[in-house]
Amino acid sequence: MKTLFSKPIKMRKIEMRPKNLLVFFLAIASVLFLVATISAATTELALVESVRVNGVYDYGNEDISVIAGETISVRVVFESLEDASNVRMKAELEGTKQDIEDVTAYFDVEEGIRYVKTLAITVPYELKDEVSDDLALEIKIWNGDFKTEYPEITLRVQRPAYQTDIMSMSTSQSVEAGETLPIDVVVKNIGYNYLDDLYVTAKISALGIERTSYFGDLVALECTDEDGEYSCDEDDEDTVSGRFYLEIPYDVKSGIYTIEVIVQNEDLTESETRQLVITNDFPSNVIVTSSTKKVAVGEEAEYELLLINPTNKLKVYRVVTESSGSLSSSTDAAVIAVPAGSSKVIKVIASSNSRGEYDFNVNIFSGEELVSTVTLTADVEGTSLTSSVVVLTIILAIIFIVLLIVLIVLLGKKPEKEREEEFGESYY
Does some domain include residue 2?
Answer: no
What is the number of structural domains in the chain?
3
Does some domain include residue 33?
Answer: no
Does some domain include residue 245?
Answer: yes
Does some domain include residue 268?
Answer: yes
Indicate the pLDDT class of residue 142, thresholds 50, 70 and 90: very high
For the stretch 14-48, pLDDT in tens is 455 555 555 555 656 555 555 444 444 458 999 99
More confident residue, 42 or 121: 121
For the stretch 246-276, pLDDT in tens is 999 888 889 999 999 999 999 999 999 999 9
Does some domain include residue 61?
Answer: yes
Over residues 196-219, the mean pLDDT reads 94
Look at the chain and count its residues. Answer: 428
For the stretch 40-70, pLDDT in tens is 445 899 999 999 999 999 988 788 999 998 9
pLDDT at 5: 36
Model confidence at 199: pLDDT above 90: yes
For the stretch 170-190, pLDDT in tens is 999 999 988 999 999 999 998
Give the CATH number, domain containing residue 225. 2.60.40.10
For the stretch 272-294, pLDDT in tens is 999 999 998 777 778 888 889 88
pLDDT at 387: 54
Q: What is the mean pLDDT of the chain?
A: 82
* Residue 184, domain extent: 164-279
Mean pLDDT is lowest, of 139-153, 252-266, 371-385, for 371-385
Tell me, yes or no, whether 263 and 199 share the same domain: yes
pLDDT at 424: 53
Does some domain include residue 387?
Answer: no
Give the CATH number, domain containing residue 303. 2.60.40.2310
Instruction: Decide: pTM greater than 0.85.
Output: no
Tell me, yes or no, whether 149 and 173 share the same domain: no
Tell me, yes or no, whether 342 and 373 share the same domain: yes
Tell me, yes or no, whether 268 and 184 share the same domain: yes
Tell me, yes or no, whether 298 and 320 share the same domain: yes
Tell me, yes or no, whether 95 and 193 share the same domain: no
Does some domain include residue 347?
Answer: yes
Tell me, yes or no, whether 298 and 373 share the same domain: yes
Over residues 381-409, the mean pLDDT reads 74
More confident residue, 210 or 423: 210
pLDDT at 178: 87
Instruction: Answer with the one of 127, 158, 189 that is the final residue of a domain.
Output: 158
Tell me, yes or no, whether 51 and 103 share the same domain: yes
Tell me, yes or no, whether 180 and 254 share the same domain: yes
Tell me, yes or no, whether 333 and 247 share the same domain: no
pLDDT at 124: 87
Model confidence at 98: pLDDT above 90: no
Strand 356-366 and strand 315-321: pairing?
A: antiparallel
Does some domain include residue 29?
Answer: no
Tell me, yes or no, whether 266 and 322 share the same domain: no
